[in-house]
Structure formats: C-alpha cells, structure tokens
C-alpha cells in the first residue's frame, strides 16, 4: 500500500505546469480529472450531467458491449458521445495495424469532433503478425503529435513503454492497473515473493538475454499482488516528475473503488473508471448507517 508521503513535491511542480481542471477560485483547481470508461451513452449521460466525469475513454471491446457491430455503427456511437462531452476529451481507439492504415483512420476519427483523442496501442503489433513493425505505435504517436492531434497511448504495462510513448509525443499514457493485477493473480507462483510473475526476483542481475524483465522489482514486489498496478502508476508518475514530462498519466483498467484512492495516492493525473464503480463513489456502509440515524432523529424536529 502506498503511503501519502509517497506524493512528491516534484509531481506537484509538474502538475502546476499542466492545464488546471477547475477554475482559479475552485478549491480543487489542480484536482485529478475523472473519465468514464464506457461507450454506453446511457451510462455516460447521467454521470456527465451530474458533473461526476469530464471525459470518456472507449475501446473496441467497450464499443462491442455498447452494441456496435460494424465500423459504421461504432462511428455513430462515438459521434454521439463526442457531441455530448464537447469540449471534454473522448478517447477513440485505432483498429488498423499498419502505420499508413492507422494514420488514415486517425484522420477520420479526429474529424468526428474537436474533442477526439486518438488512442494508439503502444506495442503488441508482432503478436498479431510477426512481420509487423514493433515501433508502429510509437511512429504513429510521433506523426500525430506533429499534426497537433491529441493522443492516448494505450496498453501500457511498464514504465519503459510509458516513457517512450511520452517521448513520441503522447498527450496521455494509459497504464492498465487491473490487468496487471489480474496477471499476477493468474501467474504468480504461490511459493515465491508476490509479483514473481512480473519480475525474476530470485535473480536480481537478470543477466541472460532470455530472462525478459517486464517490470521493475518495485512494480512487481513489495506488497500484495493487487498493488502491482498501483505501483506501476506511481513509478510512471515519478519518472515523469523527474523529467517534468507533461504527458498525463491516465490510470486505466480500474476494478474497484478502493483502487481509486490508491491511484490518487500514487499521483495519477486522470482516472478512467467503469460506470458501475463510479456509481459507488458517494457511498460507504457507514455513510448509509449514519444517514439512516440522522434521518430518524430529524423526525423529532418536524412536529
Ligand atoms: C481504457 O482506456 C482501457 O481500454 C480500459 O480501462 C481497459 O479496461 P479492462 O482491463 O477492464 O478491459
């Protein structure tokens, strides 16, 4: 578990260079932004109208869940979300896999609204086709930066990926904290230190080139496995603060409301949260119990 002392003065300095989310006279002027992680307009509308969110992230899986069954129907759903959220950002993910195809698709998605943010997978291209260029995502991010198009580098699981995406000009980076924790739950060997699936903690040298280190020891170990994603966010924020990198760290793949506090302690700039989790943010079992008592006792004043 990260402690409040983990929040660094360097990160506050970095955040002071960035656009404030609230006006000058607002008590949470430099507060984090909260996005809804859904493509379902029926979920987005009440959250946006209540001032709970000021951005949206989508991906092909979320669009499929929202009923999209063709590229055309995806575009209609995205257009509706962009119009509702304008001028707040909405991330739309590229589905093409070659540089030329992605740039063409990015132009199409960027033309849907001035608040479009183009989501670019940072890596994984050779998992789809071994002949693809591993740097496709970084190249696309760089060209879109040159074209002044806002981007969100997605599918980030370590700080190296986050740094390179920022270096390529990404506006946002999206580390997937929930999927990292899921990976530990599924792959950690129980007899070893928590996080062993992410880092070979028994061999600190990692000197052989077949020993791929996917994450630092800090991210992998040092606490309960569920914290690996939160530690990743803290590590990225620290590196960005060290170099005053103003790419925003967007904590993605959130599984529960406890992670929201953890991610804020880790210094995330933005949280993108499923609607189901957002619906719980104003509640706590003791708030419910307290409300019932106060309501009952207030009846004494009504007659
Ligand atoms: C958002 O940008 C991501 O695509 C999303 O948070 C992924 O979440 P998941 O791991 O629950 O699919």
Going by alpha carbons, the residue nearest to atom 10 of ligand 1 is 253
Distance 86 CA to ligand 1 centre (A): 22
| Average confidence (pLDDT) over 47-74 | 97
Distance 140 CA to ligand 1 centre (A): 21
Q: Which three-class secondary structure state does DSSP give residue 101?
A: helix
Please check whether residue 49 lies inside any domain of the structure: yes
All residues at 6 or more sequence positions from 225 whose CB lies less than 8 Å from its CB, including other chains: 181, 184, 185, 188, 194, 195
Give the nearest ligand 1 atom to 179 CA: 10
Question: Which of 3, 119, 226, 276 is labelled catalytic?
Answer: 119
Helix ranges (H only) for the chain are: 9-17, 41-49, 60-65, 71-85, 99-110, 125-128, 136-146, 159-167, 177-187, 217-220, 228-242, 257-265, 275-278, 285-298
pLDDT tier for residue 130 given thresholds of 50, 70 and 90: very high
Q: 185 pLDDT exceeds 60?
A: yes
Polymer length in residues for the chain: 303
The CATH number linked to 96 is 3.20.20.70
Ligand 1 site residues (CB inside 6 A) read 37, 57, 59, 154, 174, 176, 178-179, 252-253, 272
Is 292 a catalytic site residue? no
**Can you read off the two tokens belonging to residue 158?**
């370590």
Question: 185 or 162: which carries more pLDDT confidence?
Answer: 162
Among 71-80, 93-102, 201-210, the minimum mean pLDDT is found in 201-210
Distance 207 CA to ligand 1 centre (A): 33
Q: Which three-class secondary structure state does DSSP give residue 288?
A: helix
The closest of 137, 100, 98, 132 to 118, measured between CA atoms, is 137
Please check whether residue 33 lies inside any domain of the structure: yes
Q: Give pTM, 2 decimals.
A: 0.91
Q: 95 pLDDT exceeds 80?
A: yes
pLDDT tier for residue 197 given thresholds of 50, 70 and 90: confident
CA-to-CA separations, 213 to 169, 226, 258, in angstroms, rounded: 25, 19, 28
Please check whether residue 134 lies inside any domain of the structure: yes
| Average confidence (pLDDT) over 162-179 | 97
Please check whether residue 38 lies inside any domain of the structure: yes
Query: Which of 37, 38, 228 to mutate for ligand 1's pocket (most ligand atoms within 8 Å of CB)?
Result: 37
Share of the chain above pLDDT 70, in %: 91
pLDDT value of residue 215: 78
CA-to-CA separations, 185 to 83, 194, 197, 228, in angstroms, rounded: 39, 9, 9, 10
Residues 92, 71 contacting (CB under 8 angstroms): no
**pLDDT tens per residue across span 205-238:** 555 555 555 777 778 765 556 688 898 999 999 9
- HSE (CB half, 13 Å, CA atoms) of 213? 18
Please check whether residue 209 lies inside any domain of the structure: no
Number of structural domains (the chain) is: 1
pLDDT value of residue 11: 87
Q: 1 pLDDT exceeds 80?
A: no
Please check whether residue 200 lies inside any domain of the structure: no
Whether a cis peptide bond, with omega within 30° of 0, leads into 87 is: yes
Please check whether residue 44 lies inside any domain of the structure: yes
Distance 8 CA to ligand 1 centre (A): 27
| Average confidence (pLDDT) over 78-95 | 98
Please check whether residue 79 lies inside any domain of the structure: yes
Q: State which residues form the domain around 33.
A: 4-177+228-291
Among 10-24, 195-209, 261-275, the minimum mean pLDDT is found in 195-209
Query: Which of 35, 253, 256, 277 to mutate for ligand 1's pocket (most ligand atoms within 8 Å of CB)?
Result: 253
Q: β-strand 151-156 against 33-37: which pairing, if any?
A: unpaired
Give the nearest ligand 1 atom to 119 CA: 2
| Average confidence (pLDDT) over 29-41 | 96
Distance 286 CA to ligand 1 centre (A): 30
Q: Distance (Å, rounded) from C-alpha 222 to C-alpha 228?
A: 9
Element (H, E) at 119: strand 116-121
């Amino acid at each position: 578990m990260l402690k409040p002392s983990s929040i660094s003065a360097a990160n506050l300095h970095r955040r002071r260079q960035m656009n404030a989310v609230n006006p000058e006279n607002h008590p949470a002027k430099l507060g984090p932004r909260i996005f809804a992680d859904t493509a379902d307009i029926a979920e987005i509308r009440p959250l946006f109208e209540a001032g709970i969110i000021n951005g949206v992230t989508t991906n092909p899986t979320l669009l499929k869940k929202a009923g999209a069954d063709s590229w055309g129907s995806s575009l209609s759903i995205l257009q509706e979300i962009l119009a509702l959220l304008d001028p707040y950002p909405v991330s739309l993910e590229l589905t093409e896999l070659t540089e030329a195809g992605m740039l063409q698709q990015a132009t199409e998605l960027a033309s849907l609204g001035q608040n479009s943010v183009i989501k670019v997978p940072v890596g994984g291209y050779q998992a789809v086709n071994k002949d693809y260029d591993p740097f496709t995502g970084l190249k696309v991010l760089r060209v879109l930066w040159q074209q002044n198009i806002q981007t969100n580098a997605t599918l980030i699981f370590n700080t190296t990926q986050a740094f390179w995406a920022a270096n390529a000009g990404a506006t946002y980076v999206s580390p997937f904290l929930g999927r990292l924790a899921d990976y530990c739950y599924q792959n950690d060997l129980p007899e070893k230190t928590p996080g062993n699936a992410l880092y070979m903690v028994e061999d600190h040298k990692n000197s052989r080139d077949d020993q791929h280190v996917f994450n630092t020891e800090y991210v992998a170990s040092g606490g309960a496995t569920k914290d690996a994603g939160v530690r990743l966010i803290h590590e990225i924020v620290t590196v960005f603060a060290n170099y005053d990198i103003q790419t925003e760290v967007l904590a993605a793949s959130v599984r529960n409301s406890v992670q929201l506090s953890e991610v804020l302690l880790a210094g995330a700039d933005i949280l993108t949260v499923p609607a189901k989790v957002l619906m719980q943010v104003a509640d706590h079992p003791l708030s419910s119990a307290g409300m019932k008592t106060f309501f009952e006792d207030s009846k004494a004043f009504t007659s």
